[in-house]
Amino acid sequence: MTLNWVIAGGGTGGHVTPALALGEIIAERQEPILFIGSNQGLEARLVPEAGFELLALPSQQVMGRRLVGRLKGLWGTLRQVGRARSALRAHQTDIVISVGGFAAIPAALAALSLGRPLALLEPNAIPGRANRLTARFARRVFVGFASTAKHLHTRNPVSHFGIPLRGALLKAFDEAGPRTTAHSPLRLLVFGGSQGARQINETMMEIAPQFAGQPLEIFHQAGSADRQRVRAAYAEAGIQAEVVEFEPSMPTRYRWADLALCRAGALTVAELALAGLPALLVPYPFAADDHQAANADALAAAGAGIRLDSRPLNSAALATQLKALIRDPSPLAPMSAAASAFAQPDAARRIVETCAALVEAQEGPA
């Protein structure tokens, strides 16, 4: 039985990357797939670059606005539902998978109005508003964190299959090989996303003098704006450090490191788990619904990381944690094992196979 798929949603990399990972598995099945998203989100660029068809709808956000803005946003959303309905009919859609973000709402509502099964993927520990709105109508819900289920109102099955990662990244981690035991000097990987994180950069520059003469080696992805300043701070403190604007081969850096200092986005958590890399986690303080703090708490509760408060980031607390692990790195081995236990590299395949089984069971034998 050949199925016609729609994947809806996007906005940020945390939504778009899992969507593309699902698309790659569906493409392996040689089945038609259509993406529906926003013309302003990352999907507008990344989906066509990956070779998939995208229906890019005008972005409409309803929540968090004043009354007039909400009414305009609601009217715009209803218009986009009509366009999504037409697209679902033309595509002869068998199932819609929502990956969250406001861009998912028109396609999710269109699926419900046409009687098409809706599945939902929530990669973060705290679900976004769009997923909270549509979860009660979804036939299946997939979560990246086991703790997410309690935040979703649904009577249908919730499966903790993990966060889908793209095939090229999984292959790169395989090729990088397993990590080894802790090194001396301790190897610290510092990053805050592809553009760096100003808060982390500033704090590392502040505490750098405290680590003069300490057995510590740093690789720091600082972004273009701060690279020179960060490099100068480490050099002045006499710390062995490599500071780059952007690192294109992060899996090899994960393998090199003993410990990470980083944000706690869903994709970062998935990559840390895949690498089995312990982390000092600094949640992005302005993330929607504070979901990065919840992601960090989940990883810390599993014993795979240590969450630091980012409002503001306490430089003394960070220095204390880092000094303790330099002095006694023995906690890193059980943290690494706990991180590896968190990994679910087959998440995308399991989600697609479960959705296919759902449709096939509904349709009955051919």
158 and 69, same domain (yes or no): yes
Q: How confident is the model at residue 363 (pLDDT cuts 50, 70, 90)?
A: confident
135 and 173, same domain (yes or no): no
CB contact at 8 A, 149 and 134: no
SS3 160: strand
Residue 15, CB half-sphere, CA atoms under 13 Å: how many? 28
Split into its structural domains, the chain has a count of 2
Q: How confident is the model at residue 182 (pLDDT cuts 50, 70, 90)?
A: confident
pLDDT tens-digit readout, 135-165 = 999 999 999 999 999 999 999 999 999 999 9
Look at the block and give the residue holding tokens 């366009």: 83
Which position has the higher pLDDT, 297 or 67? Answer: 297
Q: Which residue, 218, 213, 208, is CA-closest to 188?
A: 218
pLDDT surpassing 70 at residue 82: yes
Please tell me whether the overall predicted TM-score, pTM, comes out greater than 0.75 for this model: yes
CB contact at 8 A, 37 and 83: no
130 and 247, same domain (yes or no): no
15 and 53, same domain (yes or no): yes
Phi-psi map region of 321: left, alpha, beta (phi>0 left; psi -120 to 50 alpha):
alpha
253 and 285, same domain (yes or no): yes
Q: Which residue, 108, 101, 104, 161, is CA-closest to 139?
A: 108
190 and 313, same domain (yes or no): yes
188 and 291, same domain (yes or no): yes
11 and 145, same domain (yes or no): yes
Give 231's contacts (C-beta < 8 A, 6+ positions apart). Answer: 222, 241, 243
Q: The domain spanning residue 349 has which CATH number?
A: 3.40.50.2000
pLDDT, averaged across the chain: 94
pLDDT tens-digit readout, 247-261 = 999 999 999 999 999
Task: Compute the average pLDDT of residues 254-270.
Answer: 97
333 and 352, same domain (yes or no): no
Q: How confident is the model at residue 328 (pLDDT cuts 50, 70, 90)?
A: very high
pLDDT surpassing 70 at residue 25: yes
270 and 161, same domain (yes or no): no
Q: How many whole angstroms separate alpha carbon 280 and alpha carbon 154?
A: 34
205 and 314, same domain (yes or no): yes
159 and 212, same domain (yes or no): no
Q: How many whole angstroms separate alpha carbon 335 and alpha carbon 233?
A: 29
pLDDT tens-digit readout, 198-248 = 999 999 999 999 999 999 999 999 999 999 999 999 999 999 999 999 999
Residues of the domain holding 306: 169-342
CB contact at 8 A, 357 and 1: no
Give 121's contacts (C-beta < 8 A, 6+ positions apart). Answer: 18, 22, 97, 98, 99, 100, 142, 143, 144, 164, 351
